Chains A and B, each alone.
Chain A
Amino acid sequence: MEYDQARWTDGDRYEPLLSEKSTSEVAVGDGPLPEDLTRDTLELPDVSEPELARHYTRLSQMNYGVESGPFPLGSCTMKYNPSFTEDVAALPGAAVHPDRGVATVQGTLELCHRLQDYLGRIGGMDAVTLQPPAGAAGEFTGIQIAKAYHEHNGENRSSVVIPDSAHGTNFATAAMAGYDVVELPSGDDGRVDIDALEAAVDGDTAALMLTNPNTLGLFERDIEEIADIVHDAGGLLYYDGANLNALLGRARPGDMGFDVMHYNVHKTFATPHGGGGPGAGPVGVTEELAPFLPSPHVRRETGAEGETGAGNSGYEYYDPAHSIGKVHGYYGNWPVLVKAFAYVARLGDSGLRDTSAKAVLNANYLAEQIPYDVPFGPFHHEFVASAGDQDAADVAKGMLDHGVHPPTTKWPETVDEALMTEPTESESKRSLDHLAAAFEAVAGETDGTLADAPTRSTARRIDQATAARSPRLCWQALKD
């Protein structure tokens, strides 16, 4: 299959900015407010609706999404997003104001409660808050919960231990919460080195942040021993849910000894990533940590009749006893949560288990087919190949010319010229074979031709250095 991405050009630029097509500067004032409280002028794009529609349609054609082709971006879980979840999230009944009395939004609260329940079961957690608006916000929530728990117990712990291969957000989150970061070197097999862990964990350890399977796609087989080491030192075990797709219906963080975790519903539960958001990052905790959850929390009304089913009881908000407070201005990214609920309900037990089965099958099949060295193993949902003598960034640009999105590159740093690849369950054998062929073709290009790639995308190789050295971040800066 040959591939060329759409390319609209206009002289020395691609599709012009709307501002470059037409702008108007209007005088403000003479309105309902005194002039000293108003601005003087406003200059904005001024185009007709047909022109607007054509502009954004062109922009969409110059953009690559999951429905354009394979998108095996490691640790991002770019899978097919079913269309119907968009429709249910946009139902008129979903569009209510967050300040309504809880008695008037019982449907909204019941949906929240059902999703909390589903996520609790999937993660093996006792209580779940839906408030964090993204995975990193979930991490922050989880670490603030850990901090509040320790402080409640009269302990002032100062550090968080994080493996060197962990998501960068883990480090940033721990620092944001005021913790010192203790970086844990990986063992020779790409997993947690137990001796190094013993050395890193002590009475100052507030938590160990871990994902399992880890970012190399490897299951931490010693997870129970890891949990014991952290717990014996009085620390908590935090689960980064970015890789939960690999475990659906097969293993649960709660059963492995994790005390607190976040879910990336935009990854695992197929809510579209929207070019970088919105996501949602619900957080699950054990019973012991439930009193520290953000406020307010949704629960079935005390004394309500019946434990299951719709319409037979009420739901309410309450403030957990030792709540950390708020992590979002209201209750999180509600439409994203509706989509996640719809997706989980559509799949059910069998669909969730099939998801992890095919995600793991696809990763292992692709790892087997590609010409690059894939250290460690066996793999779960993703693997990290090494481009060896090639520059991983060049490999990525070369792959673009084969109509596929490349893997995550140069990360984790523990693998040379890393190509972190996560095909997800929604790729067919045919599309995996196409991906493998793209890897094969690019691996064979060792004569410098990759430096020219990509040639079939909208844009040719972009000069990143100049963008950073002389930042031009808005149309106004281009005019000057």
Chain B
Amino acid sequence: MSDSGPPTTGSPYVPHSPSETAAMLDAIGVPDVESLFDVPESVAFEDDLDIEARSEREVRTEIEALLARNDDLTEFLGRGHYGHYVPSVVDDLSRRSEFLTSYTQYQPEVAQGFLQALFEYQSLLVELTGLDVANCSMYDDATALGEAATLSQRVRSVSGDRILVPAHLRDGKRGVLENYVDGPGCTVESYPMDDGCVDVDALAAAMDEDVAMVYAETPTVRGVVEERADAVGELTDDHDALFCLGTDPVAMALLERPVDVGADVVVGDAATLGTGTAYGFGLGLFATREEYLRQVPGRLVGASEDASGRRAYTLTLQTREQHIRKERATSNICTNQAWVALRAAMHAAWLGPDGLVDLAESCVTRARGLAAKLDEVVGLQAPVHDRHHFREFVAHTDQPARVVAEDLTDEGYAVHKVGEHLIQICATAQRSGAEDAFLEAIEEVA
């Protein structure tokens, strides 16, 4: 066999020898495979798809060549998608085939390993949020927010169809939310921000009995640590609305517990643990209060006992789900991000409580340190919000932000442009070795 692998006539992944195929056809009683296809001639496809089969080595080389077309930039990018260092042991263990190639745990007796790992993931989120219930994953932060909004329609005692979101919100997140609430017929409205935090007076003025849910974030999309989350919790309580807080597991290791600021639902992206930057690949986290348990979307793993009397785990409360309840299900989600959740739980366990808190604190100090250095660069003021920051911050540029961002790209760096004269910069440990060179580059272009 050459390094090209098996010949590419037919699928390399079917194990049938010609004689086995013949024996099987014989057993069925048909002359050939074609006669098994019950497709009317009028819709049968007789042409070529015109997709050339390649060897494994050729496909690998081809994809390497394609990806080599991406510019080699050092990214100071964040806004919801982060590349924290993922330890090698996470790759190694999560890729064990019994995890990777398994399916949803419909037969719990042979799936105790994955069920326990998901139970441990749920436990991690319960500790971080302080809430009672976490599911074992949604697609990403945006879809988790969408699910929170539809939850608000199911659990609220009075009707109301206004969903309030911060003026500083990633476009993609708002777009997904609008699609999710299109069916229930909700409106999505923005409330203003006050120097990067919730403008509590403006939010209070916007509240009425038609508000079903208020969404706030900490850190915000601009990296600001929200200082008035507790005030949002009080406002929503006063109006019988749900308070949905967006965050992530690294931030939660340090910031006030969501339950302590009155959050009813916590959503966000848990891919900050266990997954590097992968073009927006996410892991939606979703946690809420026990009183909403039977309205929770998605999969839940629970503890029970088996016939030997030992504790065992199983998917539970499946009557909420689409394969049982059909159109009365709490969500249509079926395939979720289970394997990504496994990786997040592994990463958190690898860090341990000290390591996770250290990681969170380093996010604050790195962002603060880089902002202070940038503030000394002529033509830059950083951060523009006089607040605490987590991982990232917005800087004002005297030059048009577009020019600064483009010039930085030419120098090999990527930053966000978030306004005419505003750029946003994310400082994680992944970029720590590049900070000095970045500062030199930005001194040149700013």
Contacts and interface: CB of A to CB of B under 8 A. Distances in A.
A330 B269 CA distance: 12
B83 to A, nearest CB: 7
A139 B69 CA distance: 33
A107 B67 contact: yes
Contact of A63 (B27, B114, B171, B318): B114
Contacts of A365: 24, 27-28
A108 B279 contact: yes
B116 to A, nearest CB: 6
Given A104-B70, A328-B142, A461-B306, A12 B179 contact: no
Interface string A342-367: 10111111111011011011101100
Interface stretch (A194-202, A247-255, A283-291, A440-448): A247-255
Contacts of A135: 334-335
B353 A42 contact: yes
Contact of B113 (A63, A73, A107): A63
Contact of B9 (A137, A350, A361): A350
A273 B312 contact: no
A193 interface: no
Interface residues of A, number: 202
A473 interface: yes
Given A71-B103, A328-B142, A52 B334 contact: no
A371 to B, nearest CB: 15
B352 A181 contact: no
Q: Could you say which of B73, B109, B124, B368 has the most chain A C-beta atoms within 10 Å of its C-beta?
A: B109
A368 B27 contact: yes
B53 A106 contact: no
B175 interface: yes
Contact of B304 (A110, A350, A462): A462
B280 interface: yes
Given A134-B334, A250-B37, A107 B66 contact: yes
A345 B59 contact: yes
Contacts of A463: 304-307
A247 to B, nearest CB: 8
Given A111-B66, A310-B69, A360 B37 contact: yes
A140 to B, nearest CB: 6
Given A176-B332, A273-B103, A342-B63, A60 B98 contact: yes
A39 B353 CA distance: 13
B339 A14 contact: no
Contacts of B375: none
A152 B325 CA distance: 32
A28 B254 contact: yes
B56 interface: yes
Interface stretch (B39-47, B198-206, B209-217, B437-445): B39-47
Given A255-B43, A277-B337, A461-B109, 12 more contacts: A24-B352, A26-B353, A28-B254, A44-B124, A73-B103, A103-B71, A175-B328, A223-B43, A329-B176, A329-B282, A358-B21, A425-B14
Contacts of A467: 302-304, 314, 316
B168 interface: no
A124 B49 CA distance: 9
A62 interface: yes
B231 to A, nearest CB: 13
A139 B327 CA distance: 13
Interface centre among B25, B45, B52 (most CB of A within 10 A): B45
B141 A272 contact: no
Contacts of B280: 98, 328-332, 334
Contact of A361 (B36, B102, B293, B302): B36
B177 to A, nearest CB: 9
Interface stretch (A228-236, A297-305, A319-327, A384-392): A319-327
B73 A250 contact: no
A383 to B, nearest CB: 12
Interface string B289-319: 0000100000111111111111111101111
